[in-house]
Amino acid sequence: MNVSSPSTPFEVGSCQSVVEARDVALKDDYAYIADDWFGVVVMDISDPSNPAQVGNAGSGGKRSVDVADTFLYTMGDWLHVFGLGDRRHPEELGYYHPPMMSGSCAISGGYAFAGTDIGLIVVSVSDLTEMHEVGSCTAGATDIALRGHYVYAPCSYGFGVVDVSDPLSPSRVGFCMLGDISEGVALGDSVAVVAAQNSVRIVDISDPTSPTVIGVYDSVFQAQAIAVRDSLAFVMQGVRGLVVLDISDPCRPVRVGQVVPALFHYDIALLGDYAYVAAADSGLVIVDVTDPASPRVAGCYTAGRADFVLAQGKYIYIAGRQSQTGQVPLVMLDVTDPLSPVEVAQCDDGGIPCVADGSLLYVERYGLHVYEQSGYGLEERSGGYTRGPAARMLSTFSLGEDVAVDFFTPSETVMDFRLYDIAGKRIAQLPHARYERGQHRVFLSARGLALGAYFVKSTPPMNGAGKVVICK
């Protein structure tokens, strides 16, 4: 684009080598473009009217890119560093893999125990405005279940038991091999029932220091999640639907019923006589399990995608990943009438519902965040917890017809800002912009807004509260 006249920019050249560009950085006569499909695309822009691809670096999934001196930095799920000795062909020098939360979390005694792909982390949540990590254990967890002072955490082909009696120093005290790749875990009386990719493994945990696989059901394909009630295990399979197992004899689990509610199935939650199934683009499917031998589809909620589901009291929480934006909208449903869910609140990028503790809902969204149920639905209680150095919101306040946000970022970062009402409806947004290390102030339009409470969120999220009251 020629921007010599900012009021009338116009195109002077183009190149079709990029599929889904997310970010761009410039160095001398080259443009480095973060592309979701092809990694970093290198463009020679010495002739702006005829840009041409001259190289590329890394693989797909790149969402941001920056250049400093002779180094190129890219961020997707991992941070990658490239050397620019050869401007056309960056050479990868190293990477950093930040822990990715598995969407599983448990709350006890003012602490949140969260599973990640490389370990269990413990976050203090006694003060929701100052959530911070206090302990960790290098025992990865695809899912977790907490009972007493033990966390049961399957990971890959193994099953670990972590003693969290001292939350500041959790330690693994038991382990056994599963023989299959684990996806989810639920607890029975003295057993842990693990949904693995192609089997269900029943682990005796009567002695947490010596877990032992005592039963296997191997007629499962692509298990995604599991729930247990009394002597029954409800196993969610990717395409083959729900299978119900009788585990009254844990050494010999037996199938008693099965139903295929939709085309794809990713998660399950039990509430009353119903199983609520997250069925991707088919939304939330409600299965009557009054008769475990004959489960049947009894209803559905199709207003949004559902990849994750959580049940608490009379509420169901669902969330679904949006492939285009990367956001995870969160929907709160009242299921007082189990067959007619009523939407209570929706948050555009609420996150994955992990666990509910009283009126508080903990979600995964680039870390751990907390919502509180109120008469208006869901209200975010804190800036949340993000592992590693994060930007911090210093203050939010009404200023004329705007909401002002003061924040500090410990390093150069790209962020966007959004203003929501207390029902979770997005009111205003500032697009992504790059901010240098230091303190900044941005403004969100509050023109025409009614008096009351609003809150500010950002991507990536910041530590600190973001509530603002408009009173005149």
Average per-residue pLDDT for the chain:
86
Instruction: From residue 176, give the alpha-carbon distance in Å to each of 104, 135, 171, 188, 202.
Output: 21, 23, 15, 18, 12
Looking at the fold, whether 51 and 139 belong to one and the same domain comes out as no
Range ranked top by mean pLDDT from 116-125, 294-303, 401-410, 459-468? 294-303
Higher-scoring residue by pLDDT: 454, 139: 454
- The answer as to whether 13 is a domain residue is no
Looking at the fold, whether 205 and 249 belong to one and the same domain comes out as yes
- The answer as to whether 49 is a domain residue is yes
Task: Quick: pLDDT tens for 144-202.
Answer: 999 999 999 998 889 999 999 999 989 999 999 998 989 999 999 999 999 998 999 99
Looking at the fold, whether 33 and 82 belong to one and the same domain comes out as yes
- The answer as to whether 329 is a domain residue is yes
Task: Quick: pLDDT tens for 383-400.
Answer: 677 665 556 777 888 888
Looking at the fold, whether 331 and 295 belong to one and the same domain comes out as yes
Task: Quick: pLDDT tens for 329-362.
Answer: 899 999 999 999 999 998 887 888 999 988 899 9
Residue 99: per-residue pLDDT: 58
Higher-scoring residue by pLDDT: 374, 242: 242
- The answer as to whether 385 is a domain residue is no
Residue where a domain terminates, one of 96, 112, 142: 96
Bond before 170 cis per omega within 30 degrees = no
* Cβ neighbours of residue 230 closer than 8 Å, sequence gap 6 or more: none
The yes-or-no verdict on residue 114 having pLDDT over 70 is yes
Task: Quick: pLDDT tens for 36-47.
Answer: 777 888 999 999
Domain that holds residue 233: 101-380
Looking at the fold, whether 213 and 270 belong to one and the same domain comes out as yes
Weakest mean pLDDT among 61-70, 310-319, 358-367: 61-70
Looking at the fold, whether 25 and 174 belong to one and the same domain comes out as no
**pLDDT bucket at 272, cuts 50 / 70 / 90:** very high
Whether the model clears a pTM of 0.85, i.e. scores above it, the answer is no
Looking at the fold, whether 240 and 363 belong to one and the same domain comes out as yes
The yes-or-no verdict on residue 126 having pLDDT over 80 is yes
- The answer as to whether 10 is a domain residue is no
- The answer as to whether 125 is a domain residue is yes
**pLDDT bucket at 464, cuts 50 / 70 / 90:** low
Residue where a domain terminates, one of 330, 356, 380: 380
User: Contact 352/278 with Cβ under 8 angstroms?
Assistant: no
Looking at the fold, whether 364 and 427 belong to one and the same domain comes out as no
Task: Quick: pLDDT tens for 52-102.
Answer: 999 888 776 666 788 887 888 887 666 778 888 888 888 888 765 555 666
Neighbours of 100 (CB within 10 A): 15
- The answer as to whether 4 is a domain residue is no
Looking at the fold, whether 88 and 187 belong to one and the same domain comes out as no
Looking at the fold, whether 267 and 161 belong to one and the same domain comes out as yes
User: Contact 392/463 with Cβ under 8 angstroms?
Assistant: yes
Residue 445 sits in a domain of what CATH number? 2.60.40.2550
**pLDDT bucket at 431, cuts 50 / 70 / 90:** confident
- The answer as to whether 114 is a domain residue is yes
Residue where a domain terminates, one of 48, 77, 96: 96
Looking at the fold, whether 320 and 192 belong to one and the same domain comes out as yes
Residue 61 sits in a domain of what CATH number? 2.40.10
Number of domain units in the chain: 3
Looking at the fold, whether 173 and 91 belong to one and the same domain comes out as no
Weakest mean pLDDT among 80-84, 230-234, 442-446: 80-84
